[in-house]
Structure 1
Amino acid sequence: MKNVLGTNVITQIGIIVHDIEKTSQAYADFFGIEKPESFWTDAVEKAETEYRGKSTPARAKLAFFDMGALQLELIQPDEHQSTWREFLEEHGEGVQHIAFVVEGLKEKVQIMESSGMSLIQKGEYTGGRYAYMDTLQDLKVIFELLENDK
């Protein structure tokens, strides 16, 4: 059995929320830390966002908490169809994904797709790219693959 991702280190937990400012403040208050600035993901022209194989204008407001070895990502989706919006509509607020930093993102996506785990959404961010893979059936959570530029 080969490690498909080349890593087993979870780098991030992503939580979908309705109100990022309220939830960020709740985390900040609970842990006695400063509330991070939230910001919107890039527009489709820059992010090249694709959801279920089609370009989408979907964006999300994000806030990041560095929690030791793990990063906690709060995600407030906009109204457009995306993996974030889909999760919120189907499951409500809660943990949507766990993320892993990988090398060779395209290859990892192809390997996973050949194993029946389809690509849900992908896009670019400043410094890298991401892919959300449909690992829900077997692994009970969505895996996000992150590839950072060297």
Structure 2
Amino acid sequence: MSGVLGNHFVTQIGILVNDVEKVSAAYAEFFGLEQPEIIITDTADIAQTRYNGGPTEARAKLAFFDMGSLQLELIEPDHQPSTWRDYLNEHGEGPHHIAFVIEGMQEKIMLLEGKGFPLQQKGEYTGGRYAYMDTFKELKVLVELLENDKQ
């Protein structure tokens, strides 16, 4: 059985934080890893971020730890409307999503929406696109779809 997404390999866990520099330093020390460079998501004109159906200027500071087959993503959102900001306000710091690499973003979004998991936020990044599906009620975490452009 291939599951809803055709892939059951979790590629990333996203964790919301209030201070990405502080928390990434703590992770680096805990795991004996180098503290990663903090990156900032693209501006709205590039990212084309949409949240709950409308455009948003939301941006976030990100830090990525590659942990073998799994990546940890630390996310410090700005105060613009986004899944990150609303989730952090509502639930506090902690896990936000589990991510899967998929092919056929539009088809997968439509498939999940048909199963009662609405699209919450989507956007572009250099080399691909993402979509957060609201699976919280059933899975207690959001599912992020990642589609990378073919090289």
**TM bracket (short chain):** over 0.9
Residue 4 (structure 1) aligns with: 4
Q: Which residue of 1 aligns with 2:40?
A: 40
Structure 1: unaligned runs, 5 residues or longer: none
Tell me how far 1:32 sits from its aligned partner.
Answer: 1.0
Aligned position for 1:129: 129
Listed one character per residue, the Cα deviations across residues 21-55 of structure 1 (whole Å, up to 9, x for unaligned) are 00000000111110000011001100000000000
Q: What 5-or-longer segments of structure 2 have no aligned partner?
A: none
CA distance in structure 1 between the aligned counterparts of 2:3 and 2:30, rounded to whole angstroms: 36
TM-score, normalized by length of structure 2? 0.98
Judge conservation of contact 2:2–2:8 (CA < 8 Å) in 1. Answer: no
Q: Which structure 1 residue ranges, 4+ long, deviate > 6 Å from structure 2? A: none
Give me the whole-angstrom Cα distance separating, in 2, the residues matched to 1:2 and 1:107.
16
Deviation at 1:2, TM superposition (A): 5.8
CA distance in 2, matches of 1:2, 1:8: 7
CA RMSD of aligned residues (A): 0.8
Q: Which amino acid aligns with 1:42?
A: D
Query: How far apart are 1:139 and its partner, in Å?
Result: 1.1
What letter is aligned with 2:135? T
Size of the aligned set, in residue pairs, is: 150
Identity of matched residues, %:
64
Instruction: Give the letter for the 1:47 counterpart.
Output: A
Structure 1 residue 140: Cα displacement: 1.1
